[in-house]
Structure 1
Amino acid sequence: MEISTAVPAVLPLKKRFRLAAAIAATAAVLVSAPHASATTGQTSHKPVVTNVKTLATIDFTSGDSPENITVNPDSSLTISMLGSVAGKRPALVRIDPSGRGKVIVAGQQGDTFTGNTRDRNGNIYYNVASSNASRAGIWKLPPGGTPRRIAALPTDGLPNGLALDSTGRTLYAADSNKATVWTVPSSGGTATAWLTGPALAADPSAPVPLGANGLRFHKGAVWVSNLAKGTLLRIPVTATGAPGRIHTVTSSLTGVDDFNFLSDRSDVVFAAQNGVNQIAVVHPDGTTETVLSASDGLASPTSTAVRGNRLYITNAGLIEPHDAKVQRGTIDPAALNCGPTA
């Protein structure tokens, strides 16, 4: 699948690709066998995810690289394409259940597309990182309409994971460069630094200096992954809308990117570990187990999405042979009982 018209690559995106490549090269030796528990060393009796297949092949060599994913009500997918050092502009792409792709938003020179999400009315929201102050921020695409920016964000930031709260009124965005979670009204307005601090910052000694990365709103809390520290954090939203006390769910997710939940009611997480080519399950008690690895075709996984018993994975293909793609597998919820408590 190809996305149209090449433009010069942008420095922030080049830096992101170099950093991701560095962590993948350094951590490749840490890749575990499928189904091994990363915390306990135990092995689950049955595979949690089976029948993993490529839904859509992405042409990395011409510049396309998938970053984030949302499953739509019709089982199509909205994919954020980064653009790359080969010169492609970023894009939002809709991929239908058969794997056919269509560009729904094409970015401009200087843009990087990261997280995307969708509300009940079909509006799509997505992050744009850019050195252009008129472009950097959170954007909204109405059904059948034209995208518009609803909030500006700093040009020296890297807005990454993006999610709506349960009311659909507030957007939360993780900023990987500024150790911040931003809030923005979904109707548009000023971005507010909802939470900032060391838990969201990169470890200065980490090979990849990116902090807060993936973000989801789940059961009254904001959940954030920190790539450099390998942590998954849960931050309750108080009655006043302020952040509550930060709870570290786990700190054993090397190279974690974005993640998603087994269901709206479950705290079981499927986390993409970009640098080590793994998908990990994080159980509510914080224990983790690797359920997919490079042997399942993973190639720099960046995010996951779940619909029913389907697991969807975006693979950026950052390391040779640059096998960028979107994968789809089948989750066996019963197999989760074979490991730590689900």
Structure 2
Amino acid sequence: MAAFDFATGDVPENITVAADGSLTVSMVGAPAGERPALVRIAPSGHRTVLVTGEKGDGITGNARGHDGTVYYNVWSSDASRNGVWKLPPGGTPHRIAALPTDGLPNGLAVDPAGRTLYVADSQKSTVWAVPVAGGPATAWLVDPALAIEASAPVPYGANGLRFHNGAVWVSNLSKGTLLRIPVTAAGAPGRVHTVTSGLTGVDDFNFLSDHSDIVFAALNTENEIAVVYPNGTTRTVLTASDGLASPTATAVRGKRLYITDGGLNEPHDARLQSGKIDLGALLSP
């Protein structure tokens, strides 16, 4: 487990595991009124700041290409910064696609072919598609299932996003849903399928493995991790008693589960947690 200093802007929002076992963590910054950052954490625990953003902005979702390129979203009121950014290995960061400043780019994933990035927009009921090579963002899907629930206490709709088994999966925080959107042979969105509902305060999520549809979902406002099974049933497996503090995202490598805790509430206990997964206990609901 690694502790972060919330007061300095180390508010973990998203996590990606690399092939070498290192972690790329988005530090959103804004909740603490500090600059955001993108941080690499080596298996030894050594931290390297890859990118430092501007004060007032937030760094949200991040994803990794096969060649080690890191892609990440910047949420900013400045039209020159808001959008999807790219950090090539050994290179410098640059923006590859602008996004509307009245939106909120959140979850991010790259398709297995390495050609398209998908972005969940928490304000505009939209999943954007962005060419990995750069270029204009396209509204890949605009749908009520991605929208903000009018009565929701937290006004974020589409939140976490993963590309998995031929589909774009999206969580909707305000509706408490997990959605699966097949990608057709032409690259268009298929019919939106609600995998489950009742995931109050769901943020980002990830899968048990590349071949499994079992999901680990971070329930931010509930301080819980829920397992979601392919048939839609859910099970709470971790709670605040396990040290959860505003969990924002999960990642899996082998038998280890990683959780980022944003520490949004006092005492702002922002951290990275990890632990072994009991695979046998998760084979069925």
TM, length-normalised to structure 2: 0.98
Q: Is the 8 A contact 1:157 1:178 kept in 2?
A: yes
Q: Answer 1 or 2: which has greater strand percent.
A: 2
1:74 positional shift: 1.2
| Identity in percent | 72
Q: Is the 8 A contact 1:65 1:82 kept in 2?
A: yes
Which of 280, 289, 299 is equivalent to 2:245? 299
Q: Is the 8 A contact 1:77 1:95 kept in 2?
A: yes
| 1:5-45 residue CA offsets vs partner (Å, 9 max, x unmatched) | xxxxxxxxxxxxxxxxxxxxxxxxxxxxxxxxxxxxxxxxx
Residues matched between the structures, number: 285
The SS at the match of 1:242 is coil
Name the residue aligned to 2:266: 320
1:102 positional shift: 1.5
Which of 113, 124, 127 is equivalent to 1:167? 113
Name the residue aligned to 1:258: 204
TM, length-normalised to structure 1: 0.82
Name the residue aligned to 1:11: none
85-94 vs 65-74, greater mean Cα deviation: 85-94
1:85 positional shift: 4.4
Residues in 1 aligned to 2:48 and 2:99: alpha-carbon distance in whole angstroms:
28
267-276 vs 107-116, greater mean Cα deviation: 107-116
Name the residue aligned to 2:70: 124
Name the residue aligned to 1:194: 140
Which of 158, 167, 171 is equivalent to 1:212? 158
Q: Is the 8 A contact 1:64 1:81 kept in 2?
A: yes
Name the residue aligned to 2:60: 114
Name the residue aligned to 1:235: 181
**1:148-163 aligned within 5 A:** 148-163=94-109
**1:123-142 aligned within 5 A:** 123-142=69-88
The SS at the match of 1:160 is strand
State the structure with more CA Rg.
1
Q: Is the 8 A contact 2:11 2:31 kept in 1?
A: no
Stretches of structure 2 that go unaligned for 5 or more consecutive residues are: none
Residues in 1 aligned to 2:199 and 2:146: alpha-carbon distance in whole angstroms:
15
Name the residue aligned to 1:29: none
Residues in 1 aligned to 2:31 and 2:211: alpha-carbon distance in whole angstroms:
40
**1:1-342 aligned within 5 A:** 54=1, 56-337=2-283, 339-340=284-285
Residues in 2 aligned to 1:197 and 1:105: alpha-carbon distance in whole angstroms:
33
Residues in 2 aligned to 1:98 and 1:321: alpha-carbon distance in whole angstroms:
27
The SS at the match of 1:135 is coil
Residues in 1 aligned to 2:191 and 2:50: alpha-carbon distance in whole angstroms:
39
Question: Relative to structure 1, is the Cα distance of residues 300 and 147 closer, same or farther in structure 2, using a 3 angstrom cutoff?
Answer: same
Residues in 2 aligned to 1:262 and 1:86: alpha-carbon distance in whole angstroms:
32
1:87 positional shift: 3.2
Q: Is the 8 A contact 1:64 1:84 kept in 2?
A: no
Residues in 1 aligned to 2:148 and 2:161: alpha-carbon distance in whole angstroms:
15
Q: Is the 8 A contact 2:75 2:83 kept in 1?
A: yes
1:84 positional shift: 3.1
Residues in 1 aligned to 2:54 and 2:8: alpha-carbon distance in whole angstroms:
17
| 1:137-165 residue CA offsets vs partner (Å, 9 max, x unmatched) | 10000001000100000111100000011
Stretches of structure 1 that go unaligned for 5 or more consecutive residues are: 1-53
241-250 vs 56-65, greater mean Cα deviation: 56-65
The SS at the match of 1:275 is helix
Greater RCO, CA 8 A, separation 6+: 1
1:197 positional shift: 1.7
The SS at the match of 2:231 is coil
1:99 positional shift: 2.4
Residues in 1 aligned to 2:199 and 2:135: alpha-carbon distance in whole angstroms:
34
| 1:88-112 residue CA offsets vs partner (Å, 9 max, x unmatched) | 2000001112322221100013321
Residues in 1 aligned to 2:14 and 2:55: alpha-carbon distance in whole angstroms:
20
